[in-house]
Structure 1
Amino acid sequence: MRPWKRRHRRPLTAAALLTLAVAPAAVPAQAGAAPDAGWVGTWTASPMAHSSDAVSTNGFTGQTVREVLHTSVGGRRLRLRLTNTFGAVPLKVGRVTVAPPDGPGGIRSDRVRTLTFGGAGSVTIPVGARTVSDPVALPVPADGDVTVSLYLPSATGPVTWHRQSMETTYVSGTGDHTGDADAAAFPTRLGSFFFVDGLDVAPATAPQGAVVTLGDSITDGDQSTVDANNRYPNYLARRENALPPGRRQAVLNAGIGANRVLNDSRLGGPKALDRFDRDVLGQTGVRDVILLEGVNDINFPWFGSEPDAQPTTPVTAGQIIAGYERLIDRAHRHGLRILIGTMTPVRGSFYYTAAGEEERQVVNRWIRGQRLADGVIDFDRVMRDPADPQRLLPAYDSGDHLHPGDSGYQAMAAAVRLDCLGPGAGSARGTDCTTARAS
Structure 2
Amino acid sequence: MSVFRLPILTSRRPASRPIAAVIVVAAALAAGSLTTTTPAHAASGTPAQAPRATSHSTHSQSAAQLTCAINDTSGCLNNTATSTYTTTTSPADADGSGNSFNAADLTSTAGWQSGKTVTVDGATITLPKFGTGTYDNMLASGQTITVPSSGAVNTGDAVVFLAFATGAAAKNVTGTITYAKNNCLTSDPADQDYRLDPVPDWLSGPSSAASITLVHENHSDNTQTRPSSGPKVYAISVPLACPGSVISSISLPLFTNGVQAGRPTPHILGLGIRPMTVTGSGSSAQHWVGTWASVQDTDKVQLSDDSTATVNGQTLRIPAHVSIGTDSGNGARIHLSNAMGGTPVTFDAASVALQDTTAGGATAAAAPTTLTFDGSASVTIPAGGDATSDPVTLTVQQQATVLVSLQVHGSVSAMPGHSVARTPVWVSDPANRTSDTAAAHYMQSTYTGLPYLSGIDVTTSTSNPTGSLVLYGDQSVNGDTASEDGGHHLSDAITNALVNDPHGDTSVDYGVLNAGTHSNSLLPQITNSTDLLNALNPLDRSVLFQGNVRTVLVSTGAADLLNCTSNADTCATDVENALAFLKTQLNSYYTDDSQIYINQQPITQNSNITVYLATIPPFTAAHPGTATQEAAREQVNNYLLDNYPGQFIDFAAAVSTDGTATSSTVKAADLSDGNPSDAYYADLAGRYVNDADSGALIYPPN
Q: TM-score range by the shorter chain?
A: 0.7 to 0.9
Q: What CA distance in whole angstroms lies between the structure 1 residues aligned with 2:351 and 2:430?
A: 17
Deviations 1:220-263 (A, max 9, x none): 11222221612222121234456459992211110012434348
1:291 corresponding residue in structure 2: 554
1:9 corresponding residue in structure 2: none
2:387 corresponding residue in structure 1: 131
| Higher Cα Rg, which structure | 2
1:407 is paired with a residue whose SS is helix
| Range moving further from structure 2, 66-75 or 179-188 | 179-188
Residue 417 of structure 1: how far off its partner (Å): 4.4
Alignment of 1:96 with 2:368, yes or no, is no
Residue type of the alignment partner of 1:255: G
| Range moving further from structure 2, 382-391 or 95-104 | 382-391
Give the conservation status (yes or no) of the 8 Å contact 2:289–2:468.
yes
The aligned runs of 1:377-396 (5 Å cut-off) are: 377-386=649-658, 389-396=663-670
1:199 corresponding residue in structure 2: 456
Structure 1 unaligned segments of length 5 or more: list them: 1-15, 265-271, 303-314, 434-439
The aligned runs of 1:16-55 (5 Å cut-off) are: 18-21=121-124, 36=278, 37-51=286-300, 53=302
The aligned runs of 1:30-429 (5 Å cut-off) are: 36=278, 37-51=286-300, 53=302, 57=308, 59-75=310-326, 76-102=330-356, 103-108=359-364, 110-187=366-443, 188-203=445-460, 206-227=464-485, 229-241=487-499, 243=504, 248-262=509-523, 274-300=537-563, 316-334=571-589, 335-371=608-644, 375-386=647-658, 389-400=663-674, 403-417=675-689, 420=692, 427=698
Residue 56 of structure 1: how far off its partner (Å): 8.0
Q: CA RMSD in A?
A: 3.5
Q: What CA distance in whole angstroms lies between the structure 1 residues aligned with 2:655 and 2:152?
A: 43
| Range moving further from structure 2, 21-30 or 156-165 | 21-30
2:634 is paired with a residue whose SS is helix
Structure 2 unaligned segments of length 5 or more: list them: 1-118, 127-150, 159-238, 244-275, 279-285, 526-534, 590-607
Residue type of the alignment partner of 2:494: L
2:456 is paired with a residue whose SS is strand
Decide whether aligned partners of structure 1 residues 425 and 35 sit closer, same or farther in structure 2, where only a CA change above 3 A counts: farther
Give the conservation status (yes or no) of the 8 Å contact 1:99–1:108.
yes
1:179 is paired with a residue whose SS is coil
Q: What CA distance in whole angstroms lies between the structure 2 residues aligned with 1:394 and 1:318?
A: 30
Residue 408 of structure 1: how far off its partner (Å): 1.8
Deviations 1:149-186 (A, max 9, x none): 10012233432200111211112231112122333323
| Range moving further from structure 2, 97-106 or 244-253 | 244-253
* Count of residue correspondences: 391
Deviations 1:273-299 (A, max 9, x none): 741111111111111011110111111
Residue type of the alignment partner of 1:168: P
2:436 is paired with a residue whose SS is coil
Deviations 1:33-55 (A, max 9, x none): 69634210000001123248578
Give the conservation status (yes or no) of the 8 Å contact 1:375–1:420.
no
Give the conservation status (yes or no) of the 8 Å contact 1:73–1:203.
no
2:663 is paired with a residue whose SS is strand
Give the conservation status (yes or no) of the 8 Å contact 1:384–1:393.
yes
Residue 301 of structure 1: how far off its partner (Å): 8.3
Deviations 1:370-407 (A, max 9, x none): 13x8611111112111299311111112332xx42112
Residue type of the alignment partner of 1:396: D
Residue 17 of structure 1: how far off its partner (Å): 6.2
Residue 351 of structure 1: how far off its partner (Å): 3.4
Q: What CA distance in whole angstroms lies between the structure 2 residues aligned with 1:185 and 1:51?
A: 25
Decide whether aligned partners of structure 1 residues 263 and 186 sit closer, same or farther in structure 2, where only a CA change above 3 A counts: farther
Q: What CA distance in whole angstroms lies between the structure 2 residues aligned with 1:370 and 1:211?
A: 22
2:3 corresponding residue in structure 1: none
Residue type of the alignment partner of 1:80: I
Residue type of the alignment partner of 2:458: V
2:435 is paired with a residue whose SS is coil
Give the conservation status (yes or no) of the 8 Å contact 2:368–2:434.
no
Give the conservation status (yes or no) of the 8 Å contact 2:121–2:386.
yes
Residue type of the alignment partner of 2:320: L
2:672 is paired with a residue whose SS is coil
User: Relative contact order (C-alpha < 8 Å, sep 6+): which is higher?
Assistant: 1
Residue type of the alignment partner of 1:47: Q
1:110 is paired with a residue whose SS is coil
Higher helix share: 1
1:7 corresponding residue in structure 2: none
Give the conservation status (yes or no) of the 8 Å contact 1:63–1:172.
yes
Decide whether aligned partners of structure 1 residues 297 and 25 sit closer, same or farther in structure 2, where only a CA change above 3 A counts: farther
Give the conservation status (yes or no) of the 8 Å contact 1:20–1:132.
no
Decide whether aligned partners of structure 1 residues 52 and 183 sit closer, same or farther in structure 2, where only a CA change above 3 A counts: closer
| Range moving further from structure 2, 79-88 or 151-160 | 151-160
TM (normalized to structure 1)?
A: 0.79
Decide whether aligned partners of structure 1 residues 317 and 151 sit closer, same or farther in structure 2, where only a CA change above 3 A counts: same
Residue type of the alignment partner of 1:409: Y
Residue type of the alignment partner of 2:337: T
